[in-house]
Structure 1
Amino acid sequence: MFPVGGVGVMLLLIAVAALVAAAVAAALARRFGWQWAALFGLLLLSLAAIGVLTLIPANGAPGIVSAEGRLDHCSWDIGGPAPDGFWILPGGQRLLNTAVFVPAGMLLVLVAARWRSAWVTVPLGLAALAGYSVLIELTQLEAARIDRACDVTDVIDNVTGAVVGVLIGIALLPVVRPWRFGRATTSREPVASRR
């Protein structure tokens, strides 16, 4: 029996994740500057929110999921049947599966762009987001008690959302300019040496 679930539990867990992400950002701000640390904290929060939205039952605690009622394999029916919408975002489960990965892809670019290695880090990060999606689906398959189903279509939708997010992040680079986020300056530092 899975003892928790529902929108209230999801919102509570996301709020806790937001507090943890804010604490991590505050710890990193002194070394990397508050702008970059805030982007990193938001990236952590987006990853935690994905986990909560995909691994906590949306309609309350499902109780007992019988062995006969669970799948023993992932569905390979690409674009197959999916549940109708979700309470936050109408338009179907597939749209939500895509949208939930967009912020992570966007923030990945903005966090990585601070360093010259971003041209390597961003593709590796995108691969890591795809791996995160696969891990979520495998968890849904193995943990029948959360009453979720493993579906390859979800992975495709998740990766599509991450790619859209990366493209949005690239488009935002000239506006956000994360490469300018340096260390916090101190009053003892000469003005000429500040960026």
Structure 2
Amino acid sequence: MLEVSLSAAPLLFPACAVLGVLFGAAAFLLARQRGRPPLGPVLWAVALAGELAVTLTPTTGGSFGRPSCVFDPGGWEVAHGLQGALNLALYVPLAALGVWVFRRPLSVAAGCVLLSAGTELVQTLLRTGRSCDVADLLDNSSGALLGTVLAVAALARAGRRPAASRRDALGALGTAGGGLAAVALVVWLYVPLYGPSGRTPPRPDLTNVGVPAQRLMEGLFGPGDRLERTSLTADTARSAFPLTEAVTDRGRFRFEARSGLLVSVEFTTPEAAAPPPRSEGPRPEDELLYVGTQFARTWFPDLAPDGARPTVAPGPDGARLLTFRPPDAPGNTSGNASGPRLLEVTVSASGRVLSATASRPR
């Protein structure tokens, strides 16, 4: 995760350091001015600086397409993975330190939810290269709730439990009601929200995505496909450069944002891949080899040059996994300790290319 952060957002750590110093110094001076111990306010200010740096620092190359926000069943899968756990953990210290400093747990929890909603909105409006996703809001809110509960329990154990008050409750209602209403209004006016209702986002301007995305999409899936969304990511095991990931109606693909080289493709509908030769039944081994080799030479010429012969391994349901290792990679490592340069193409038993993944760790 550290390598991904450094590659996709090289300004993340400098931004975190600068904001941490500025926010921490301001909190220290305010606490001293009011005669309060400065430790709690300084820690809370640094946690706030970290949240802003992590969520708003632009990624390499900026964002693509028009502003939009995801609310669909696929997005909720992220909430239960590693990314979801990191989003949850980001808000636990922010909420816990907020309760410690302000002694208003309801207002702090509501403020954290509003902060998460606001940062998700700003991410897409300012085109920071990050995606707006309701699943992230769910994770952040869960982290805020967990941090609030932990802080209240810790204060109670120390005999300093914050008393529930009307002022805290009214502050929480005002923050959640007014703030979230304002965010919802901006989303309604400027940011299309799409999901399980079947509404799709407006087609992105392909001039913003770049010529490589258009060329790859039309070549892989045909001119009738729809480019739904793009995002910037990093996978140091596959490439040393930031990757553009594009999701379409018929599959998804990733390519190097710098060079335009295709890194991976996955066909999610059977008709998206090239039609099999003759019939849908199982094809002979040599035909599967031919289909996979032609696909590799067309889309990955640097890893499957003319004359390249892959190794073939059986896959599920009669599929074949074709592995290409370029001849200019002695020992199959290209002199790079991070991994081999190779290409893997999966062909179904009926002769359809299902997926392909390249590794160019350099």
Compared CA separation, residues 46 and 160, structure 1 to 2 (3 A): same
2:84 alignment partner AA: R
SS of the residue corresponding to residue 69 of structure 2 reads coil
The reply on whether 1:160 has 2:142 as its aligned counterpart is: yes
Identify, as 1 or 2, the structure richer in helix: 1
Compared CA separation, residues 29 and 124, structure 1 to 2 (3 A): closer
Deviation, structure 1 residue 56: 1.6
Q: Counterpart of 1:50?
A: 51
**TM (normalized to structure 2)?**
0.38
1:79-90 equivalences in 2 (<5 Å): 79-82=75-78
1:44-83 equivalences in 2 (<5 Å): 44-57=45-58, 60-63=59-62, 65-67=63-65, 70=66, 72-77=67-72, 79-82=75-78
Deviation, structure 1 residue 96: 0.7
The reply on whether 1:96 has 2:86 as its aligned counterpart is: yes
Q: Which has the higher contact order (CA 8 A, sep 6+)?
A: 1
The reply on whether 1:38 has 2:34 as its aligned counterpart is: no
1:101 alignment partner AA: Y
Report runs of 4+ in structure 1 exceeding 6 Å deviation: none
Deviation, structure 1 residue 6: 4.8
SS of the residue corresponding to residue 124 of structure 2 reads helix
Tell me if structure 2 keeps the 8 A contact 1:108–1:125. yes
1:130 alignment partner AA: V
Gaps of 5+ in 2: 1-6, 163-362
Task: State, as a whole percentage, how many aligned pairs show the same letter.
Answer: 31
Show CA shifts across 1:104-155 (max 9, x none): 1101110123xxxx3xxx21221111111111111122122x2111111100
CA–CA separation in structure 1 for the residues paired with 2:161 and 2:49:
23
Q: Which has the larger radius of gyration?
A: 2
The reply on whether 1:136 has 2:132 as its aligned counterpart is: no
Q: How many residues are aligned here?
A: 155
1:150 alignment partner AA: C
Deviation, structure 1 residue 80: 3.2
CA–CA separation in structure 2 for the residues paired with 1:161 and 1:137:
15
Tell me if structure 1 keeps the 8 A contact 2:55–2:119. yes
Deviation, structure 1 residue 161: 0.3
CA–CA separation in structure 2 for the residues paired with 1:31 and 1:178:
25
- Select 1:106's aligned residue among 75, 96, 100: 96
Show CA shifts across 1:26-60 (max 9, x none): 3134344453x221121121112111111124xx5
CA–CA separation in structure 2 for the residues paired with 1:74 and 1:7:
21
CA–CA separation in structure 2 for the residues paired with 1:18 and 1:25:
10
CA–CA separation in structure 2 for the residues paired with 1:175 and 1:12:
37
Gaps of 5+ in 1: 84-90, 180-195
Q: Counterpart of 1:124?
A: 107
CA–CA separation in structure 1 for the residues paired with 2:90 and 2:117:
15
Q: Counterpart of 2:302?
A: none
Tell me if structure 2 keeps the 8 A contact 1:110–1:178. no
Tell me if structure 2 keeps the 8 A contact 1:62–1:147. yes
- Tell me how large the CA RMSD over aligned residues is: 2.9
CA–CA separation in structure 1 for the residues paired with 2:28 and 2:49:
18
CA–CA separation in structure 2 for the residues paired with 1:107 and 1:38:
10
